[in-house]
Structure 1
Amino acid sequence: MFFLLLLLKHTIPLAQPIISNDITQLNPIPISDIAQPTSTADVVELIKNHTGPISIAGGKYSMGGQTATDNALQIDIKKLNHILAFDPKKKEITVETGANWRQIQELIDPYNLSVQIMQSYADFTVGGSLSVNVHGRYVGEGPIILSVKQIKMVLADGSLITASPTENPTIFYGAIGGYGAMGVITEATFNLTDNTLLKRTSQQMLITQYYDYFQKYVNNNTHAVFHNTLIYPPDYKTVRAVTYVTTNEAPTISVRLQPKDQDYSKLHKQIALLSSSNLAKRFRKLYDRWQYSKKQVVWRNYEASYNVAELAPIATKEGSFVLQEYFMPTDQFDNFYPQLINILRKHNVNVLNISIRHAKKDSGSLLAWAKTDVFAFVIYYKQGVTSKDQQAVNRWTTELIDTAIEHQGSYYLPYQIIASQAQFEKAYPKAKQFFELKKQLDPNNKFRNKLLDRYAQY
């Protein structure tokens, strides 16, 4: 009886119906309840005592129902957010997976340490980042799995296991990038790296020049830490490559982390303007030329601690700002991007920009998006909210997925669930092995969400 009272304490009592949605507000899903555990022990008891479907949610920045399914208990991990161990000498940290990256940065920055791999924004939960196997703008790095020493995970029967590349490796490679299919990852241990001063360098060029530029100036540059390149719409002919390299110069920005209380209202107006006018998109190249001409020397943690609030509001009554991402083997760059651009033009997609990043090969996750070294093409666009708008997105997305597969590439799974079963299996050739492992660990299909429901081979 005492435990049941304790469990109810961590369950949010909400009136029916409970609707779960993501940051885009495009995917309302009715769920049965929401639970907010504060420890691994809470998660164990929740899973042991719940017989229906369970979904797992963090910041809900995935954009296609990856955190919910109909009538599921949604485990919200954001209160499972404690730092469990930190060893500055070993450059190692263990956290509960509801912690976000900013929380980690605030702890490790005074020790002049930095997260080895994370996405561009620091608001996301560790668990969400592991679930989608994120990457960032890091040169010489790749998916986050490359920085993970071990995880602890609660399985469908309530058992708690440890998994790493050497202990229960099959589960390790199924769980990271596995979208909660195998269980609830409650703890993770990461390698850290040094916080260093970085100088921003920038070069505008024709997109036809970029591949050679990357190979010559970025790919084997041991001083390069961050790199990404913007393709400018609406002509898609010009790119701006931005690289942060280590330096001994004094910082031009004294604070070591991005201020939490920044006013983003000006940036929000700029984003709205970009989405409303091709003229504004063209003007952006001139604005960026001025902006990037300024000298900037910052700490690595400053450049890694952006707040996703700078993009708000992501969802409005008229539309949502949405992402898609395609991964292309590096030697296919010049073959892929012309077709990417042709499809976006043909369908008049309202693209604000396309960001190009580079990632090293995945170490073995079953749903690996980087089966070799890849370029990532991150499309930031605006779409409407009507069924007609969604049908239009479905058409050009289907074409892009086919094009990516044609060039031995893949697409990223945290976004809208549009790919057919055949496309999914071609882009993720170990999907059958992935779902066979899920059957072993979760024979009653307890852990579910819309992504798993769509492609599960049960």
Structure 2
Amino acid sequence: MTKLTRRTLLVGGGALVGGGAVLALGAEAPQAGRLAAEAVLAPDRMNDASGLSPVTVARHVTISDTGDEALGTLRRELAEARSAGRPFIASAARHSMGAHSLASAGTVATLDQKAIEIDAGQGLYRVPAGARWIDVIRALDAAGWSPSVMQSNNDFGVASTFCVNAHGWPVAHGPFGSTVRSLRLVTATGDVVECSREREPELFRATMGGYGLTGVILDLDVEMTRNEQLEPRFERMPAADFGTRFPVTANEPSVHMAYGHLDVTLGSFFEEALLVSYRSAAEQGLIPEAVGSGFLSRASRIVFREQVGSDAVKRLRWGIETRLAPRLYGAATRNSLLNEPVATLDDRDASRTDILHEYFVPPDRFADFVAACRDVIPSSYQELLNVTLRYVAEDPDSVLRYATGPRIAAVMLFSQEMSRRAEEDMQRMTRELIERVLACGGTYYLPYRPHATLSQFRRAYPDHARFAAFKRSVDPGPTFRSPFWDQYLSDGADA
């Protein structure tokens, strides 16, 4: 397989999360009008992928062991935090953008583990909570398997994907949680609970998309599928027609993966869409090893970043995606398509940060969503670089669910200045978009900047009170807390 057959250049199904702003923190002293997040982080200060969520923590521990060793460490840290009356939260790569994986004045546990066990007879793999998706792909690829659903980039943690119940671009699946058979969870008291849809189902469903607020996952049993060669097809269409076409394509038995993009050039903003679908290749042959990012993937970053402030480069990029890519791309393995790190398009600019939005819209209201975006985004002073569209089947399980029926997910990446003014503009635009999406019968995704009002959160997630009540029943302290809990779910949220 040549590098030209890989999902590189600028055509990609993955959500793009900017971690560069985090790496750049401390590069210079804060200036007037800059956000405090740019200050040098002391040893007890932590942040997330936005670079805008500095939190002072009491203790940070990294857990690399698995099994009994990891359990022992977790129990000691939990007991110490409870004794001190401190909150506790666990995470992996901390790619959320609203301090969901941080605990102010609390204990933060970073899980970083690699051991993967494959049960080919059951079509399952067992994965420790802190494994990254690149570890899963490496293990499964060697045995001829592939994740049925995974988050779109390979440097995220697997249990974190479950805790935000992220979706991917394999079709026609629901979110990642739909492929998790069971898991083991450590409660605030250090007890280990095995849960699934049949055993402790309430705990299983609250933990799925529960942002680490019900306990710490030890490991998960997850469904896998066979790896194979896939061939792409490209379709251009008016953006307003995408909502009709995408569900039909996603539900074709021959289609295994699919995504879309929208034109973000200001001169033709959201007027045109591109649908890319992958089907089984006629000739499978020898399945090559899944490879990482190649030269073209790295080169794409240059064009991608040059879009900031340049409509001409945005037009160039759209031309590459719609005219050049269909002539270049051939078959690629399922695992190779999935095996892309988010770091490929890292911004590496201390003055800016990448901010994600994501909205879930009923397919029959997608044209209304496009119209809303055209009304709100161009006049917002925000720099939109990319929109990736995915199909998400209904989620019947999680309590804080965003897919109450089939949905088209619109993943938007903005390049935002690291300034108070830009943050205020982003908040204003976000609230306008959320209001318009709610009017379309859709919702917004929770792992990103906490700009939604409390009223918007409650309307978007009507089972919020049920989730909060269950969380208090299993964690009355509560021990598992984060700024997300404090702002939207705690007893003091109304204040």
Same-fold call, TM > 0.5? yes
Q: Which moved more, 1:60-69 or 1:254-263?
A: 254-263
Q: Is the 8 A contact 2:213 2:480 kept in 1?
A: yes
| Equivalent residue number for residue 416 of structure 1 | 449
Find the partner of 2:87 among 53, 61, 64: 53
| Equivalent residue number for residue 378 of structure 2 | 345
The root-mean-square deviation of aligned C-alpha atoms, in Å, is 1.8
Q: Is the 8 A contact 1:432 1:457 kept in 2?
A: no
Q: Partner letter of residue 335 of structure 1?
A: D
Q: Partner letter of residue 161 of structure 1?
A: V
2:142 and 2:213 mapped to 1: Cα distance?
Answer: 37
Find the partner of 2:436 among 400, 403, 414: 403
1:179 and 1:306 mapped to 2: Cα distance?
Answer: 24
1:30 aligns with 2:56: yes
Q: Which moved more, 1:106-115 or 1:367-376?
A: 106-115
1:44 aligns with 2:78: no
Q: Which moved more, 1:345-354 or 1:152-161?
A: 345-354
Higher relative contact order by CA 8 Å / sep ≥ 6: 1 or 2? 2
Q: Deviations over 1:228-270 (max 9, x none)?
A: 110011222111111111122357x974312267685422211
Is the alpha carbon distance of 1:136 and 1:160 closer, same or farther for their aligned partners in structure 2, counting shifts above 3 Å?
same
Q: Could you tell me how far 1:438 is from its partner in structure 2?
A: 0.9
Q: Secondary structure at the match of 1:70?
A: coil
1:357 aligns with 2:383: no
2:311 and 2:90 mapped to 1: Cα distance?
Answer: 39
1:69 aligns with 2:98: no
Q: Deviations over 1:185-232 (max 9, x none)?
A: 11111011111210011112221332333244x033111111111001
Find the partner of 2:475 among 414, 424, 442: 442
| Equivalent residue number for residue 253 of structure 2 | 222
- The answer for unaligned runs of 5 or more in structure 1 is 1-14
1:96 and 1:181 mapped to 2: Cα distance?
Answer: 18
Is the alpha carbon distance of 1:360 and 1:26 closer, same or farther for their aligned partners in structure 2, counting shifts above 3 Å?
same
Q: Partner letter of residue 427 of structure 1?
A: A
- The answer for unaligned runs of 5 or more in structure 2 is 1-40
Q: Which moved more, 1:102-111 or 1:428-437?
A: 102-111
Q: Partner letter of residue 420 of structure 2?
A: S
Q: Secondary structure at the match of 1:335?
A: helix
Is the alpha carbon distance of 1:16 and 1:397 closer, same or farther for their aligned partners in structure 2, counting shifts above 3 Å?
closer
1:332 and 1:263 mapped to 2: Cα distance?
Answer: 36
Q: Partner letter of residue 196 of structure 2?
A: S
| Equivalent residue number for residue 157 of structure 2 | 125
1:17 and 1:89 mapped to 2: Cα distance?
Answer: 47
1:302 and 1:223 mapped to 2: Cα distance?
Answer: 19
1:318 and 1:150 mapped to 2: Cα distance?
Answer: 43
Q: Could you tell me how far 1:43 is from its partner in structure 2?
A: 1.3
Find the partner of 2:221 among 174, 185, 189: 189
- What does 1:169-180 align with in structure 2 at a 5 Å threshold? 169-180=201-212
Aligned length: 439
Q: Is the 8 A contact 1:369 1:410 kept in 2?
A: yes
Q: Could you tell me how far 1:409 is from its partner in structure 2?
A: 1.0
- What does 1:13-162 align with in structure 2 at a 5 Å threshold? 17-37=43-63, 38=65, 39-51=70-82, 52-78=86-112, 80-83=113-116, 85-162=117-194
Q: Is the 8 A contact 1:44 1:160 kept in 2?
A: no
1:456 aligns with 2:456: no
Find the partner of 1:375 among 408, 413, 424: 408
Is the alpha carbon distance of 1:215 and 1:411 closer, same or farther for their aligned partners in structure 2, counting shifts above 3 Å?
closer
1:429 and 1:409 mapped to 2: Cα distance?
Answer: 12
Is the alpha carbon distance of 1:254 and 1:269 closer, same or farther for their aligned partners in structure 2, counting shifts above 3 Å?
farther
Q: Partner letter of residue 425 of structure 1?
A: R
| Equivalent residue number for residue 29 of structure 2 | none
Is the alpha carbon distance of 1:337 and 1:438 closer, same or farther for their aligned partners in structure 2, counting shifts above 3 Å?
same
Q: Deviations over 1:112-163 (max 9, x none)?
A: 1110111111111112111110101121101111100001111111111011
Q: Secondary structure at the match of 1:276?
A: coil
1:260 and 1:302 mapped to 2: Cα distance?
Answer: 9
Q: Partner letter of residue 253 of structure 2?
A: T
1:278 aligns with 2:304: no
2:407 and 2:485 mapped to 1: Cα distance?
Answer: 25
TM-score (norm 2): 0.85
Q: Which moved more, 1:255-264 or 1:242-251?
A: 255-264
1:107 and 1:380 mapped to 2: Cα distance?
Answer: 30
Q: Is the 8 A contact 1:256 1:298 kept in 2?
A: no
Q: Secondary structure at the match of 1:414?
A: coil
| Equivalent residue number for residue 9 of structure 1 | none
Q: Deviations over 1:325-361 (max 9, x none)?
A: 0001222212222112211122143111211111001
Q: Is the 8 A contact 2:123 2:224 kept in 1?
A: yes
Q: Is the 8 A contact 1:149 1:164 kept in 2?
A: yes
Q: Is the 8 A contact 2:144 2:227 kept in 1?
A: yes
Identity of aligned residues (%): 24
Q: Secondary structure at the match of 2:308?
A: helix
Is the alpha carbon distance of 1:295 and 1:388 closer, same or farther for their aligned partners in structure 2, counting shifts above 3 Å?
closer
Q: Which moved more, 1:16-25 or 1:366-375?
A: 16-25
Q: Is the 8 A contact 2:239 2:367 kept in 1?
A: no
Q: Deviations over 1:404-429 (max 9, x none)?
A: 11122110011001111111111111
Q: Is the 8 A contact 2:100 2:447 kept in 1?
A: yes
1:248 aligns with 2:282: yes
1:385 and 1:16 mapped to 2: Cα distance?
Answer: 19
| Equivalent residue number for residue 293 of structure 1 | 327
Q: Is the 8 A contact 1:250 1:297 kept in 2?
A: no
TM-score (norm 1): 0.92
Q: Deviations over 1:7-66 (max 9, x none)?
A: xxxxxxxx9651111123121111111112321232122212322111222101111111
Is the alpha carbon distance of 1:212 and 1:408 closer, same or farther for their aligned partners in structure 2, counting shifts above 3 Å?
closer
Q: Could you tell me how far 1:368 is from its partner in structure 2?
A: 0.6
Q: Is the 8 A contact 1:60 1:67 kept in 2?
A: yes
Q: Secondary structure at the match of 2:361?
A: strand
Q: Is the 8 A contact 1:36 1:76 kept in 2?
A: yes
Is the alpha carbon distance of 1:325 and 1:47 closer, same or farther for their aligned partners in structure 2, counting shifts above 3 Å?
same
